[in-house]
Structures are given as C-alpha cells and as structure tokens.
Structure 1
Amino acid sequence: MPKRRIAIVIDSLAGGGAEKVMLTLANELVKQGHEPHLLVLFDHCEHHIENNIPVHFCFDKKKDKHLGSFWNTKRDARRLDCWIEALEQDIGKFELFISNLDKTNLLLSHSKVSPLYFVVHSSIEEPLKRTKKLGPIAYFKMLRAKMALNGKHLITVSEGIKEEIERVGRIVPASITTIYNPFEIEKIKQQSLEEVTGLPAGDFLIHVGRFAKPKRHDVLFKAIKQMEHDLPIVLLCNNAKKARKIAKKHGVLDRIILPGFQQNPYPWIKAAKLMVLSSDYEGLPTVLIESLVCNTPVVSTDCEHGPKEILTGDLAQFLVPRRDPQRLALKIDEALNHYPEIKQIDLLEKVDAHQVCLSYLDLIRQK
C-alpha cells in the first residue's frame, strides 16, 4: 500500500480516552509506513507523543477561548480551513481527515476539507439528557455540537452507539460504520510488567477515569462503603481534590489512594485485584479491555454502550445495573471471592491496532 498522509484533528491532547485512542491509531499508522499528523486546536498535552508523529497546534487557548461560539462558528471554521491549507502547502495534501470531540466536530462540520469522517466516541443521547438539567444555554450548546454530525460520515467506536443513532433518529448521517478503538495489545502486556513506584503493598481495587459526573464516583464510593471486603481503591483520575471531597462525604476517604495521573497505568491495573467501572454511559470503555489484557478481573455497570460488547460469555454475569450501589457492592464481593478464568476475549481481534488501522485506511479507498 502506498504511504498515506492522514490528519487526526482533535480539541486537545488532554488525558482523556479519545485522545489516547487517537494517539494509539497514530502510532499504528506509523508502524504500517504511513504519515499521520495530529492537528490539535489547543496546546494542552498530558500524553507522551512519539517523536515520529508530527503535532500541529492551531489556536491560542487564551486568545481563542470562545472558539466555535454561536456567532463565530463559520468564521472560526474558515480560520481552521486556512490554517490547514497553509499546512498542506508546507507538507503536502492529506488523504483523510478524522475529526474527534465536540469543538473540533463543530468547526469541521462547516469545513471544506475532504474526505472527512467524524468519530463518535460516546453516547449522544445520555450527555444531552444530563445537560438538559443544567439549563437551556448548556443544553443548546451541546445540542449544536451533536447536530453538527447530521448528514456527515460517522464512525462509531461501538455497535451500541451506532444502534442508538439509528434508533433515535435525531441525527441522520450520510454514512455510519463501526470501527472499534485500537489497542496495542502486546505493548500493553509489556508495559504492565514495568516497575513503578507507589504501588500499594497489599490487595487493592482500581478505578481509572477522569473525575466527572458520568463516571459516577458517588455510586462507586457508596458501593465501597457497603462491601464485605475492606480493600482500598486506587483512583487514577485528574482531580484529586474533588475526589477526596466526595469520598469524605460518603465516608470512604480512608479507603482511597490517589497517586495522580500515570503515564503508564498498566502496572497499576495488572497489580489490582479488580477493576471497577461505575459509569452511567461510555462509548467503548478502554479500561475494561486493558484490564482483561492485563488479566485483571472486571466488574462494570451495564451501560447502554460498550461494556456488554466486552464482557461476554462467563464474564457477562459481572455486568451490574447502573446507579445501583448495593448491587455493585455485591458483585464486587462476588468477583473477589471467585472470578472465571479470563480466556480469549472475542472482541480482542476486532480491537487489535493493526486491524483497526486497516479499517481506517479502507476509508481512503472508498472515496
């Protein structure tokens, strides 16, 4: 296959799941002899980026803090187009644009770049329901970003998200296909064996994810309070102060360990007795797949999207209804007492980075 130049466009390179997924894709594209470029709206980076992946920052976070606002969207989209055009004059034309996250999606929905695909990393309906409670302005802002996907070529990271879009009909895409998130499975296994400082001496649970309402740390803390096993839980999250505050509110402050953001979380995941996911909604929760790759048992809420596509067969019994701390506590205790052998996971072949990369490259051939 000839060398392909691909633009991965995203809001920032903060420590979130979408950012990590796109960096994994970029790494695999390089491995396969292609030329990915990260086109990033704002200079905010918490991830390690390999030297062979070019990164280009477009806007100034201080000067452009109202980027994509209602009155300026088309103007800002033109600015982005001009910036991309200048970049292409310097490095050559991109053969594929992959758009990620709301702000980027909003701008690129008014862009002239092509071929352009929008990755839907999470549920569309669940965040809208939650934001509606915050008032009409917040709801309208999010609705604008979601409706920008109407009539566009979409990639969903799980079949559950694809089914939601087709069932609800709020968005009618030009096309829609599922390409699972890429995982460098052998690399994860190798990194999980690296030595790190700060690991607890005894058994512990682990939860990995930003401290945000959809992750439902409140449900997690209530469940911990009700467990029979008195294990501490490591929280790999981005807001230790808030985590402590909520943990104290639920009477489990003495049970949480907050080592801060970890560039390599896999030794922590591998050393844990159990991974717990308590979210209200997800897209394709990477931590569940990473945990199973590390041979770490998993208990998860049965979000509408993602977990049920990962925890299949004997592992499906460890899916718990959302927002039910008592059931979550019981299932955690059950998993700690006995967990089935983690054998070949059906989904791993579909999420292997090499295969996912080929699926993205196929988009170029289709145009």
Structure 2
Amino acid sequence: MSQNSNKRIAIVIDSLAGGGAEKVMLTLAKGLLARGHQPHILVLQPAVEHEVPAEIPLHFCFDAHTRNLDSFWRLGTSVARLKQYLETLQQQVGRFDLFLSNLHQTNLLMTRTGVAPLYCVVHNSMDEELQRQRKLGPLAWLEMWRAQQALNGQQLIAVSEGVADELRHSRRIKPASVTTIYNPFSLAEIRQQAEAQTADLPAGDYIIHVGRFARQKRHDVLFAALKKMRHDIPLVLLCSNRRKALKAIRKMGLEQRVIVPGFQQNPFPWIKHAKLLVLSSDYEGFGNVLLEALALGTPAVSTRCPHGPSEILSGALSQWLVPRRDPAALAAAMDRALEQPPDVSSAEILDKVSLDTIVTRYLSLLARD
C-alpha cells in the first residue's frame, strides 16, 4: 500500500481536554493534512480545550451525558455502540486506512471493536502508572491493569525508546509489535507562536513549569526545591486545576513566590521568556515540554525519570538531569543553570522530532498492512 496516495486516518482519543497526548495528536493531524492526507479526530466524549483547525473533521463518538464508558457493567454496551458508530461514520466519509488509538479508555474500547489496521499509541510508562494506581487502592489498580491488558497482542507505538524497551520486556502483556515513533513537533510553528504578544507575562525573570497539576508531576518536590534554591526567582505554573495548585502553594507558604496563570492554549511565549524550564516528574512518556523549551532556546532541568528526559537532554545536556524525588539536587541544578545557562540551540533531539519526519514514520505503518 503506497504511503504517497491520499490516506484517510482516524485518530481516536478520550477527549481533547488539555494534555500532552491530545496536543501531540493534533500536531500529527496537522502534519498529515499538510501532506495531502485526510486525518479525522474522533473523541469519545465532547470535552475540547485545544483549538482544532476547521479543515480537520472532529467527531464525537458519545454524547456528554454518557458516563462510565469503560465500567465493568457498561463496557460491552460501549464497545457495541462505538463499533456501530465507526461503521456508520465510514459509510459517510469512506473507509479509514489507519486507526491510531490513544489513552487507556480509548484503547480499552478500540481494541474490542475489531477495526484494522489499528495501532495503540503508548504515551507513558505502564509500570509507573500501575504502581501509582496501586497506592490509590485495589479498584484503581484493577482498572489500570485491565486497561493495560487490552494492549496484549496489539500493534503498539511507543513515544520513546524507554517506553518501547519497557513494553518489549513486559511480563504482563505480549504485544504483536512495538515501534518507537517520537512525538511530532512543528518547530517553526512553536517558534512563531512564541512571538505572540501575551499581556500577562511577568515583568522580571522567572522559571517555569508546564504540566497538569497531578501527582505524577511531583509539584511537591518542585515546591520543596524552590525553597532550597539560592536564587529568589519566581516560579510560573501553567497547569489545569488552578484551585488545587493554589491550595498546595498556600500549604507550602509560597504564595509570594509562585504565579499560577492556569492552562494556556499557547504556552510558548511563557516558555520562551523564562530563564529556565523545570520538570520534576516521577515518570513521563517523553517529556514534551523539555523539547519545546529546547526549540525556543530555553535551558531545561529535569528529573532523570522513566522515560524520555534522558533521550531529550542527551550528550552535553545530560548534566541537567537529576535523581527523582530529590529536592536538594533539583534546587542545586536550577541554581547552576541560572548562573551558567547552557546553550541548547544545537540539541541533538531537535532533528529527530520534526513534524515532517514523524509524519513519514506514521505513514510507513501503512506499508505493513
């Protein structure tokens, strides 16, 4: 099957609420469209925070009132409804040449519909996610375990070599195949968007953290590191769940030090003008914000967490990786980066993640089927 002729590709995902996987798939859709293909975005439920270009069809598989799609008692019904929806949609727009499934709920449903060719994109460390759910209780662990079991026997896309290695050596699932394809980045568009005027930018120097306010991101470690720094520089948090973030900031006594503008559709001016970007996560799939910082010439410091940061901050930049859950080491690295900012303009990873390169990698999947 030629990759050059026009292809119709379904990108299926839980929602388009603010998040890394959602942003990645939107970027991929734009890249496919630019190459003359027909990407369609299918979201399970109509939660949309990202801007979707009018040229890319957006489909809602279930209405907003349908809850618990993947619950034990409703899964069979949800799968049947989704299967019928996909069949009806293809009668209207034509058969899809490729299905790309993203995130746990979508994977759980899509792998049961029988559509093909289907690839599930794994955006995070499965081991770390399961370990995290265990701490939340047996039901949370069981739901995550069931979602991961859906990947057994499937064709998988890993967003980093670290995730791919974990999948290949997993004792819980046996994938049919594992292919590493880095997340796509439109570097020119990132740099262009970074030039936008943003009235709310802080007047002076600041460091920045971009990411959901979630346990995985370890804001507690970041706040503890902030208190240990020698430099009294403000921290800007671009995150969802602003109220929860502000509560944690008050608890740490950092109200005068941390600025919380909340989720930003265009975070790039904020990243570009920061003196430093920091990532304090326990685990990642890739670490998109690190790449975005490098693309904008902003130095970055990160935990050496599984997986992704060590593939982004490689070579000379590996000195800016620190152990997880170590506020003192994170504080020392941030102080050092502020005093001796590294030149990140020639980061090795930038050539490997350009949008055109990644679109070509995804289109190569068609040659296998």
Normalising TM by the smaller chain, what interval? over 0.9
The aligned length equals 366
Task: Tell me the equivalent position of 1:254.
Answer: 256
For 1:58, the equivalent position in structure 2 comes to 61
Shift of residue 339, structure 1, vs aligned partner? 2.3
1:200-255 alpha-carbon deviations (Å, 9 max, x no partner):
01000000001000000000000001100001111000111111111111121211
Cα distance in 1 between the residues matched to 2:364 and 2:73? 37
Question: Aligned residue for 1:177?
Answer: 179
Shifted more, 103-112 versus 17-26: the winner is 103-112
Question: Is residue 165 of structure 2 the alignment partner of residue 163 of structure 1?
Answer: yes
Query: Which amino acid counterpart does residue 37 of structure 1 have in structure 2?
Result: H
For residue 343 of structure 1, report the CA deviation from its aligned partner: 3.4
Offset at 1:169? 2.5
Give the CA deviation at 1:75.
2.5
String of CA shifts for 1:264-318, please: whole Å, max 9, x gaps. Answer: 1100000000000000000011100000000000000000200000001111001
**Aligned ranges 1:185-334 → 2 under 5 Å:** 185-334=187-336
Asked if 1:351 corresponds to 2:353, the answer is yes
1:39 to 39, 42, 52: 42
**Aligned sequence identity (%):** 55
Give the alignment of 1:74-85 within 5 angstroms.
74-85=76-87
Establish whether residue 17 from structure 1 lines up as the match of residue 20 from structure 2: yes
For the residue of structure 2 that corresponds to 1:97, the secondary structure is strand
- Superposed CA deviations along residues 177-204 of structure 1, whole A, max 9, x for unmatched, are 1000000001111111111111101000
Q: CA separation in 2, counterparts of 1:40 and 1:304?
A: 28
The answer as to whether partners of 1:74 and 1:110 remain within 8 angstroms in 2 is: no
When normalised by structure 2's length, the TM-score is: 0.98
Query: Does the CA-based 8 Å contact 1:269-1:296 persist in structure 2?
Result: yes
Q: Which amino acid is the alignment partner of residue 264 of structure 1?
A: N
Decide which moves more: 10-19 or 165-174.
165-174
Shift of 1:365: 1.3
Partners of 2:361 and 2:345 in 1: CA distance: 26
My pick for the range that moved more, 9-18 or 159-168, is 159-168
Q: Provide the rounded CA distance (Å) in 1 between the counterparts of 2:96 and 2:242.
A: 40
Contact 2:13–2:22 under 8 Å retained in 1 = yes
Which residue identity lines up with residue 57 of structure 1 in the other structure? F
User: Among residues 96, 100, 104, which one is paired with 1:94 in the alignment?
Assistant: 96
Q: Supply the distance in 2 between the matched residues of 1:80 and 1:184 (Cα, whole angstroms).
A: 32
The Cα shift of 1:74 comes to: 2.6
Tell me how far 1:351 sits from its aligned partner.
0.8
Cα distance in 2 for residues equivalent to 1:315 and 1:275: 13
Q: Counterpart of 2:89 in 1: which secondary structure?
A: helix
Output the TM-score relative to the length of structure 1. Answer: 0.98
* C-alpha distance in 1 between matches for 2:25 and 2:190: 16
Q: Distance in 1 between matches of 2:46 and 2:340?
A: 46
Counterpart residue identity of residue 230, structure 2: E
SS at match of 2:142: helix
Which amino acid in 2 is paired with 1:12? S
How far apart are the structure 2 equivalents of 1:343 and 1:43? 39
Query: 1:100, 1:155 → 2: CA distance?
Result: 10
Structure 1: tracts of 5 or more residues without a match: none
Does residue 2 of structure 2 align to residue 3 of structure 1? Answer: no
CA distance in 1, matches of 2:75, 2:216: 27
3-state SS in 2 of match to 1:224: helix
Matching residue of 2:363:
361
Unpaired runs of at least 5, structure 2: none
CA RMSD of aligned residues (A): 0.9
Kept in 2: contact 1:314–1:340 (CA 8 A): no
Secondary structure of the corresponding residue to residue 15 of structure 2: coil
Q: 8 Å contact 1:269–1:294 — kept in the other structure? A: yes
Give secondary structure in 1 for the equivalent of 2:261.
coil
Higher deviation after alignment, 255-264 or 68-77: 68-77
- Report the CA distance between 1:68 and its aligned residue: 1.5
2: CA distance between counterparts of 1:275 and 1:340?
12
Render the CA deviation track for 1:2-61: whole Å, top value 9, x for unaligned. Answer: 110000000000000000000000000000000000011000000011110000001123
Give the secondary-structure state (helix, strand or coil) at the position aligned to 2:44: strand
Checking the alignment, whether the CA contact within 8 Å between 1:225 and 1:251 is kept in structure 2 is: no
| 2:348 counterpart SS class | coil
